[in-house]
Chain A
Amino acid sequence: MIDTFLEWLRRACLFAASAALVFLVISFGWLVFGRYVLNATPTWVEQSALLLICYIVFLGAAVGVREETHIGVTLFRDVMPSTIQKVLIIFIDFALAAFGAAMLTAGIMLMQFGWDTKLPMLNIPESFRTLAITSCGGLIFLFAGARGLSRLLRFKSYVPEILQEDV
């Protein structure tokens, strides 16, 4: 049930980040067209792009946590005994969840600070930019926390991916 919800959340994040990327590409096409063909540069493009990239990066990063695709050096861990590997993997999950929680808390504070500051050209609160890292924090907390908990609960039967080939 929880896993289905988290999977739906992952897909929603990936869809939102993908839509933002498509909009980013189209808006830059419009910028070039406006500048050189219409002789009227759409000034909102640059600022909206700087806003959208935050969502692409931070939502994408949360998806990466769920999919476990972030760059990491597992070389040292992989040579350790399987029990230690399991402990370390679960520790990383909880460390990521704690970092996500810190990101969420800091993000909320940053959103509060930035509410009265407007993003130039877009005229929306600066908080919309920090909303990206805030959501990322919340999502990482959920994704990594749930995974860590699930692995901890089935500690005995859980086999790290690196060892699954040997099973």
Chain B
Amino acid sequence: MGLAILLGTFGLGIIIGAPVAFAMGIAAAAAFFYEGFPALITFQRATAGVSVFSLLAIPFFVFAGEIMLHGGIAKRLVRLASALVGHLKGGLAMVNIFSSMLFGGISGSAVADISALGSLLVPVMKERGYRPDFAVNVTVTSSIAGIVIPPSHNMIIFAVAAGGGISVSKLFLAGVVPGILMCVSLAIAAWIISIRHNYPAEPFPGWRVVGQAAMDAIPGFFTAVIIVGGTLSGVFTVTESGAFGALYAVLLTLFYYRSLSLDGFTRAVVGTVRTTAMVMILIAFASSFAYLLALYQVPAKLSDLLLTISENPIIILLMINVILLILGMIMDMAALILICTPIFLPIAKNLGMDPTQFGIMMLINLGLGLCTPPVGTCLFVGCAVGKIKLEQALKSIWPFYLAILAALILVTYVPGISLWLPSLYE
């Protein structure tokens, strides 16, 4: 009965459109009350849920991304990408994908990626004769790379949701190859479409310009090197690395690039507060929710249910992926990481899957959910940036979905793709 109250209240909250975080909080309070616990446990756990040292990395990562966006680092990365890959067929699409790989790797946020790169590249692509839906679709789908290429705050959320037994350094390393794989798959899809539509290649600017662009962008790219390198080397904790990276980005854009205005700084701070609060209030109330799910043995029950359908790991992983894809279509990423990790991770572990590999699989899967209707934050932001209708984007997005699905299948069934790099580090 307690489980029915928990899931029923939460489900009702979701259906009527209540904020997910508060739907979880209300459901948890109701279940605690039913079980005879004082409802204030919900709020005690919520406070304890955000007072976690490793979670402090989230505001720092988000802040670093916001500073890059408002401080001109993103523009420099686009310039570098343009000089390097702009001369390929469908050059600006390649620039878009390559920029996502560079910028997303630092900001770790798909939405920040679209806002930053989309507003720079989509108008230029349209001007150069690319179809608006193609420009938007490339921007939207390539933004998912930022979720798996380190540093990514979603990896921290996953590590916390997994109960803290997963190394963030290992997750950082595990995301590199799948991130690159996704970008390569998308680049192939974009290249084929570019040939069909005869999209132009930009003239190669010469190695001198490439060198200049690289010299200009490298100090900005160093933000990611500090965060990832600091964490991997063990010199800093992930939180300290995030803070140091954010401070570096501020000092760089303020004194070296001289492109961070007071207005830009204020926007970055306020944007960080809004994003941090939105993500971490979910974590706060998810801690009570996940505690109750464990109390009612939901992961074990679901695992038994899946095993009655099939005992074949390939089929079960496929089912988990399908469930995550469906959930990803209707719910946002952070909330799903927090709700689904305690449920599906034990099942994956029972099948012999490494938790790190599962994490990367889950991030790609839920990332794809950000680009799918009816609830696709990235798709909506992309359409707004590109000034096109959702239907227009959806008509031609399927080759990119296929490219990401191909990467997802490979990451799911080939452990080496995500685990090879961490194994070298160990």
Enumerate chain A interface residues (CB-CB to B < 8 A): 14, 17-18, 21-22, 24-26, 28-29, 31-32, 46, 49-51, 53-54, 56-61, 63-65, 67, 69-78, 88-89, 91-92, 95-96, 99, 102-103, 106-107, 109-110, 129-130, 132-133, 137
> With the chains together, A22 CA to B413 CA distance in Å?
43
Contact A60 B276 (CB under 8 A): yes
Instruction: Please tell me the number of chain B residues within 8 Å of chain A, measured between CB atoms.
Output: 57
The residues of B that contact A95 with a CB separation of less than 8 Å are 18, 22, 26
> With the chains together, A25 CA to B59 CA distance in Å?
9
In the complex, B34 has a CB within 8 A of chain A: no
The residues of B that contact A110 with a CB separation of less than 8 Å are 40, 43-44, 47
Indicate the member of A51, A60, A95 with the most B CB atoms within 10 Å: A60
A-B contact pairs, 20 of them (CB 8 A): A25-B60, A25-B63, A28-B243, A32-B243, A49-B56, A53-B59, A54-B51, A57-B50, A57-B284, A60-B274, A60-B276, A61-B284, A70-B278, A74-B17, A77-B15, A95-B18, A96-B18, A106-B40, A106-B42, A129-B47
The 9 A-B residue pairs with the shortest CB-CB distance in the complex, in nearest-first order: A60-B277, A28-B243, A70-B19, A106-B40, A77-B17, A61-B281, A74-B17, A106-B43, A57-B280
Contact B269 A21 (CB under 8 A): yes
The contact of B273 among A60, A107, A129, by CB within 8 Å, is: A60
CB distance from A130 to the nearest CB of B (A): 6
Enumerate chain B interface residues (CB-CB to A < 8 A): 14-23, 25-26, 29, 39-40, 42-44, 46-47, 50-53, 55-56, 59-60, 63, 236, 239-240, 243-244, 246-247, 250, 266, 269-270, 272-274, 276-278, 280-282, 284, 330-332, 334-335, 374-375
The contact of B278 among A17, A64, A73, A88, by CB within 8 Å, is: A64
Indicate whether A99 sits within 8 Å of B25 (C-beta atoms), given known contacts A60-B277, A64-B277, A92-B16: yes
CB distance from B92 to the nearest CB of A (A): 31
The residues of A that contact B272 with a CB separation of less than 8 Å are 21
Besides the contacts A25-B243, A50-B52, A91-B16, what 20 more A-B pairs have beta carbons closer than 8 Å? A24-B59, A25-B250, A28-B239, A28-B244, A46-B53, A51-B51, A56-B280, A58-B281, A61-B277, A64-B278, A67-B274, A71-B335, A73-B14, A73-B17, A73-B20, A75-B375, A96-B19, A99-B22, A106-B39, A129-B51
Indicate the member of B46, B266, B335 with the most A CB atoms within 10 Å: B46
CB distance from A73 to the nearest CB of B (A): 5
Indicate whether A64 sits within 8 Å of B274 (C-beta atoms), given known contacts A96-B18, A96-B22: yes
CB distance from B85 to the nearest CB of A (A): 34
Contact B330 A75 (CB under 8 A): yes
CB distance from A86 to the nearest CB of B (A): 12
The residues of A that contact B26 with a CB separation of less than 8 Å are 95, 99
